[in-house]
Structure 1
C-alpha cells in the first residue's frame, strides 16, 4: 500500500465524514508541511518551531514506515532522515534539536556548549533512543542494511559512551545547562537546571541520568523511568544490529551489560508501593528513595510502555500504574466538560494533550474506550481539523501550538490501526 492508496482506502472504510477528513489532513501533515530534502539528507521540522527535534522527527514519520516497500520516494526520505539524525548526534549527542543552517537568532541565552546547527542542548535520554528505533524499524520494513555503515557504527559507540557516562552523572559528566531566565519574562522554572546547571545529586542506580523530560521540561529527579525503559528496548535493537550486521561480540556484550544494569535499576529503584493502587512505576527517582508519582503527556511516558515494547498491556504493574495515571491522583490528569485525560507541566492547568489521548487509545484493549477517545480528539480541534499540542478541557477553542506534526502523525497511526 502506498500513500495514495491509504487515502483511497480511508474513503472506503471510514464512514464518518468529519473523522475521515481529519485523518487525511493529519496523515499528510508532515509530508505536506514539514519535510525538506537536501541531497541524500532529509530535514523535518516539528511544525510551528522551525527546528528538527530528534524525537519529534522520528515520531512524525512513524505512521509512514509500513508504506515504504511500495514507495521508493518515501523510503529515501526516511533513509535521509536517519542520515541527518546520525550526523547531528555525532555533532553533539547532548543536543535535542537542530537546525539546517548555522545562522540563527535566539530569544534566550543558554549557558552550555553551543555548536553551529544546534538549536537546543537539553539532554534528554529519549532523544538518543528514537533515532535507533527509527533505524531498526526502517531495516525491518525494507531489509535495506546500507544505513549501517562505519558512520553508524561510530554513532552506536558515541551514544553508548554517553549512556555509560550518564550512569555516573555526578562523578563523570561535564554536561551542564542553564537558561537565562531574566531575559525572557514568560519562561517556566522548568526551562533550566538547578544547582548551577548541574541538576540535583543522584545516586548510582544502573539507570541513565537525564536532564530533561520528553516535554523539554527539567526533570525533578533525574532518573526518568519511562525514558530508561525505552532505552532498555532500543538496546535490544542495537544488540541485534551489532550481532547480525557488524558481528562485533565485544560491542554486543557491552550493550547487553548496559541493558542488564538499566533493567535491574528500574526493578530496584523505579517502582513504588502505592497504598491505593498497589505496586506502580514511578515517573522519576533519584536513587535516594525519593520518587515523582505522575505521568506526562509526552512519549516516552508510563502510559506508553506497551506501545514502546517494554511490556504487554496486561502486565500487572503497568495496569496498576495505568489506573493511577488515569485518575486525579496523577497531578496532571484533568477532567472538564469536553474532555478528560493527561496534560503536562509544560502547558497550563486544565489543558490535556491529544498525544496522551491517542496513546491511551493505542494502549487500550477496550473497544468502547478507544472509540470514545477518538471521538474526543475529533471533537476538540478548535474547528481546525488538526491535533494541537494541548487544549482546554472546557473549551477546545483555547489551545496551544496550531501546527504540531507529532500529534497529527500519532493520531493518523491510531486511525490506521483501528480502521485499516
Structure 2
C-alpha cells in the first residue's frame, strides 16, 4: 500500500512527510543558500525522524485509528486511540518562526486512574543535501546539553556548524512534569525522547507542547524554540490561523474549495521559502524531496505557475518574489534550471522561461497598481537584458524566435514553437504597455511593431493544413517541416488565456479538437480522465487539467479533477488515466499553484 503523506510548514521549515497512518514525521527540510539548495534531517527506512508515542502502566501502546483534519487547509490535526486513551495532536509550523510544534493531548477513558508516559521520540540518522538528487552529507553530528533551552541541542558540523536543531518544552525544568532523555550511538546517529509522565484520573486530560527550533548554531536554534514557547501555543496558533484565513479563497463549490486552498498554500510554502543561513527569500520547484527535481529554480515553474497563486494570496509577497527574480536570478534568465543563488544548474536555453519574468511582472502591476516598482533601475535593467537575449534568438529574416528546449525541458524537434512565440508576442506588448510614457516613443513603437510582426509570422508560418483544415503546428523549422504535438507545461490550449486569440477562433478550435481526439496519441480521449499528456510523462497531466480550466472547458475539467486523488490531494505531475492516482512527480509545488489559480479563475465569483 502506498504511504499517504500530509504536508505542512512555514517560510523556514518544511514538513513534507507526515505519515497519515501513525503521525510520524519521516524528515524535515530547510533551505540553505551556502548549500545552494535544501537540507533534510532524516531518520532511516525503519525509524522516522520524529513520532508520537505513549506508554500506559509502563507498557508501550500502539497509537491507531488516526483521523485527520486540516485547519485552514494547512495545519494538520488528528484524533487517535491508544487502547482506552484518547489522543489528539496538532503539528503547527507558526508563521514567521524558525521551527514547529508537535502538540499532544491525552485523555484517560478508562474507569480507573492510569499511569501514562507520552510525548515524541526522535531519531536523527542522517542529513541529505537535495538539489534534484539527494545525497548524504558527510559531517559530524553533535549532541550536547545546553543551558540555552534547558534541554539538548543537535548540530551538524563541517568544521563549524552548518545548522542546529533544538527542542524545548519549559524554561523551568525543576517544576515541570516533562523531561527528556537522549543519547548518541556508536554510528553517530542521535536518539531522544521528550515526554511527560503522570497519573491520570478517569476523564483527566494532559497536554504538552513540544517545540523544535532551527538555527545556524546552538544559540539561534535554542532561542528560536524559546521564542515560540514564550509566546505560547495559543498565540502562535491564532497568529497562524489569522494569517491563513486572511489569504484563503472562497468559491461556492466546497470540493473544489478544498483542492484550491490546499494547493495554494502548498505552492506558497513549498514553492518558496527563506534560507536558514542568509534569510533570503528564494523560489524552488518544491521544498519536498519527494518531487523528482526539488530545491532548484525554473523561471517557468515559479513565475508562470506558482506566481499567479501567490499573487492572488499575497500581493506584497509577490513583490518580494519579483525582487529575487530580477536580482539573484536575472543573470542567467532563460537558462533551463538554476541553483537558488542564480548560478546555472542545467544548461540549455528555453524561450518560455525567458518570457516568464515579464509575464509575472505585468500580472503583478495589473493586480497591485504598483507602477513605481517597474521604474526601479534593476527592474528596467532586467527587462532590457531579457530583450537583448530575445533579440539573439530571432530568425534573421522572419519574426519568429527559436528555443533549444521545450516547456518539458526536453529537446525540441523543430526550433520555432508556436506556444513560445505567442509568449514572445505577449511580452513585447506587455513591456510596451508597462513602459509607455516612461521609455522613449521610438522604443515603444519598435516593441509594438515587432509584436505585430510576430503575430503575422505565427499566422503565416505556424498555421498548417491537416486533413484539409488549418491548425496550429506545435513547432516548425521554416524549411517546410512541422509537427502535431502538445505539452501541458506549455500548451496550445492556453492561447486564449494569454490573449492571443478568442475562444471562438476557428484555427485554435481545430487545433484543440485535434489534440483532444482519440486519434492523438496523448489525448486519453476514451479514458475517465481525458486530459492531455505528452512523451515526457505519458499520462494525463495535472497541468493539463489546469489548462482546460483556463481554456473554456471548465466543467469537464472539474469532473476530471474530482476523479483525481493526485498525491493525497496535492498536485503531482501526472495521474493514472483510469484511477486518478499519482503516476509521476509527487509533491509538485509549482504545479499546485497553477492548479489553485486555474480553479479560482474558472469558478470564483470575482472572475465572472
* TM-score when normalising by structure 1: 0.77
RMSD: 2.4
The answer to whether structure 1 residue 375 and structure 2 residue 547 are counterparts is no
1:2-55 per-residue CA deviation (whole Å, 9 max, x = no partner) reads 962553735xx2344xx4332221121112323224689631211131112111
Match of 1:207, SS?
A: coil
Residue from 397, 404, 415 that aligns with 2:588: 404
Written as runs of structure 1 = structure 2, the 5 A alignment for 1:139-178 is: 139-148=365-374, 149-168=376-395
- For 2:529 and 2:413, the matched residues in 1 are separated by 28
Equivalent position of 1:266 in the other structure: 458
Q: CA deviation at 1:65?
A: 2.4
Cα displacement string for residues 359-385 of structure 1 (whole angstroms, at most 9, x for unaligned residues)? 112211xxxx52332131232224601
Contact kept, 8 Å, 2:310 with 2:317, in 1: the verdict is no
Change (3 A) 1:165 1:89: farther
Determine if contact 2:529/2:578 at 8 Å carries over to the other structure. Answer: yes
Identify unmatched segments of 5+ residues in structure 2.
1-242
- 1:5-404, aligned counterparts within 5 Å? 5=246, 7=248, 9-10=250-251, 13-16=252-255, 19-37=256-274, 42-47=281-286, 48=291, 49-58=294-303, 59-67=305-313, 74-88=314-328, 90-101=330-341, 117-148=343-374, 149-168=376-395, 204-244=397-437, 246-275=438-467, 278-299=469-490, 301-335=491-525, 337-347=527-537, 349=538, 351-364=539-552, 370-382=554-566, 384-404=568-588
Counterpart CA distance in 2 for 1:398 and 1:363 is 24
Would the aligned equivalents of 1:335 and 1:393 in 2 still touch at CA under 8 Å?
no
In the alignment, the residues of structure 1 paired with residue 567 and residue 391 of structure 2 have an alpha-carbon distance, to the nearest angstrom, of 47
When residues 97 and 147 of structure 1 are mapped into structure 2, their CA distance, relative to the original with a 3 A threshold, is farther
CA contact under 8 A between 2:567 and 2:586: conserved in structure 1? no
Any idea what SS the aligned residue of 2:531 has? strand
Q: Residue 178 of structure 1 corresponds to which residue in structure 2?
A: none
Q: Are the equivalent residues in 2 in contact too, given 1:294–1:325 (CA < 8 A)?
A: yes
Asked if the contact 1:336–1:394 (Cα under 8 Å) also holds between the matched residues in 2, the reply is: no
Q: Cα 1:259–1:372, aligned 2, differ >3 Å: closer, same or farther?
A: closer
SS at match of 2:583: strand
How far apart are 1:334 and its partner, in Å? 2.0
How far, CA to CA, are the matches of 2:582 and 2:383 in structure 1?
A: 43
Moved more, 317-326 or 21-30: 21-30
Distance (Å, rounded) in 1 between the aligned partners of 2:372 and 2:496: 30
Contact persistence 2:332–2:343 (CA under 8 A): no
**Residues 100 and 117, structure 1, Cα contact 8 Å, conserved in 2:** yes
| Aligned residue pairs, count | 353
Aligned equivalents of 2:317 and 2:373: distance in 1? 13
Distance 2:320 2:247 in 1: 23
- How far off its partner does 1:346 sit? 1.1
More strand by share: 2
| 1:193-220 per-position Cα deviation (integer Å, ceiling 9, x unaligned) | xxxxxxxxxxx43200101111111110
Greater RCO (CA < 8 Å, at least 6 residues apart): 1
SS of 1:145's equivalent in the other structure is: coil
SS at match of 2:554: helix
How far the C-alpha of 1:150 sits from its partner, in A, is: 1.8
The CA deviation at 1:88 is 4.5
Instruction: Give the aligned partner of residue 80 of structure 2.
Output: none
Question: Matched residue of 1:119: which SS?
Answer: strand
Distance, in Å, in 1 between the alignment partners of 2:509 and 2:410 is 26
Structure number having the greater helix percentage: 1
